[in-house]
Amino acid sequence: MISERMQRAINAQINAEMWSAYLYLSMSMDAADKGLKGISHWYRQQFAEEQQHAMKFADYLASHSVRVSLTAIDGVRDTWASAEEMFAQTVEHERNVTKMIYNLCDIATEEHDYATMNMLTWFVNEQIEEEQTALDILDSLKKIGDKRVGLYMIDKELGARK
């Protein structure tokens, strides 16, 4: 049985995952406006992935006969000065999401909720990957600086994401 506290926390996480999706969709649109089709594609993939994360949490609650409570999603920024700025915000955002997942783990541990802890293990591992991927891209963007050829190559590489 999932406690009321955990139910509220997971419902809040669903909202946070949907906000993340909304943020990444906004980044995708801004990258497209800047002619960065590959980066736009990468962020659109992130958009879909964040929606899947929200659904994974929602399905978990539903499998325990817990009602999912969807709330309004706050607005997001819609323009960035550069791809580097986008990915700097992405790294920061993913680190914040990691903290939220760790908070859920703390609650599960305090409440001896081993089933939820087991489910959260997937998210902990996912966040390690999310942070590292965004950080790697940011590091590459920093290395190329103002070199347009470098940005072209990174854009092309990110456009190949499946």
Rounded Cα gap, residues 61 and 84, in angstroms:
37
Structural domains of the chain in order of their starting residue, each with its CATH number: 4-159 (1.20.1260.10)
- Over residues 9-25, the pLDDT tens digits come to 999 999 999 999 999 99
Give the pTM: 0.94
Helix%, strand%, coil% for the chain, nearest 5 = 80, 0, 20
- Over residues 139-157, the pLDDT tens digits come to 999 999 888 999 999 999 9
